[in-house]
Amino acid sequence: MTSIRNNLQQVQARIATACAAAGRRADSVELLAVSKTMPVAAVLEACAAGQRAFGENYVQEGVAKIQAVRAWEAESGAAPAAVQWHLIGPLQSNKTRLAATHFDWFHGVDRLKIAQRLSEQRPAELAPLQVCIQVNIDGGGNKSGVVPQEAAALAAAVAALPRLVLRGLMTVPEPVAGFAAQRAVHARAHEMFEQLRAGGGLGPAFDTLSMGMTADLEAAIAAGSTLVRVGTAIFGAR
């Protein structure tokens, strides 16, 4: 077995163990393989191992990989567009058209202007772009994201836009040491997610809480994450 195949199996085992500890089903958490800065060959190796959801931070790098994987799908006989592509990094206004045209998901909506541009620029022949509101849950100074007090208003405005589907929230808290401290931060995001979902008006598709990475995926799952974004544990250090 290849190294990436082994790594994927180990990460899936971590997810299953964390879900069992939290009294959750293993299939209640999706694995997003974060392939930023990794070569196309590494992505194709992960595809060959069965991974079908990838996260990229940089638009143009991501587009190049999307095109390469589409070619692989055609050559290998895989279902067209079987691989899902998630943009998870900050997005500048001058890159929204590329993002709207090529990606399936965008996790980093932190202001209405970006969401409006994505809505306007999403091609009509494509399925609506799936988006998450990024919340700066712990007030980290180096992180993007709307402040928690403004998340509800932004979510309502984004949910009303055409060509987008609001799927949930995404967080990237500052690293903290220890399972309990990690879980406490993630629990705040889960509480906000549940409050927004209970408030109604955001639609039945509001079902995704994107939080947790290589170092803290167990704590994130314990707190209620539905999607973990893992790069290093799959592809190695960058």
Give the CATH number, domain containing residue 107: 3.20.20.10
Ramachandran sector of residue 168 (left: φ over 0; alpha: ψ -120 to 50; beta: rest): left
Name residue 133's amino acid: I
Ramachandran sector of residue 18 (left: φ over 0; alpha: ψ -120 to 50; beta: rest): alpha
Place of tokens 């690293």: 175
Structural domain of residue 150, as residue ranges?
3-235
Integer-rounded Cα radius of gyration of the chain: 17
Residue 7 has a CB neighbour count (10 Å cut-off) of 20
Q: What is the dihedral of CA 42, 4, 214, 204, to 10 degrees?
A: 80
pLDDT value at position 81? Answer: 65
Name residue 48's amino acid: A
Specify whether the CB–CB gap between 47 and 82 falls below 8 A: no
Give the 3-state secondary structure of residue 202. coil
* pLDDT tens across the length of the chain (238 residues): 569 999 999 999 999 999 999 999 999 999 999 999 999 999 999 999 999 999 999 999 999 999 999 998 888 776 666 899 999 988 999 999 999 999 999 999 999 999 999 999 999 999 999 999 999 999 877 668 999 999 999 999 999 999 999 999 999 999 999 999 999 999 999 999 999 999 878 988 999 999 999 999 999 999 999 999 999 999 998 7
Question: CA 223, 226, 227, 233 torsion: positive or negative?
Answer: positive
Place of tokens 């903290």: 176
pLDDT value at position 2? Answer: 66
As a whole number of angstroms, the distance between CA 142 and CA 176 comes to 14
pLDDT value at position 142? Answer: 62
pLDDT value at position 75? Answer: 85
Give the 3-state secondary structure of residue 196. helix
Question: How many domains in the chain?
Answer: 1
Full DSSP string of 117-159:
HHHHHS-TTSPPEEEEEEB-TT--TT--SB-HHHHHHHHHHHH
The first and second tokens of residue 26, run together, are 């293993």
- Total-model pTM: 0.95
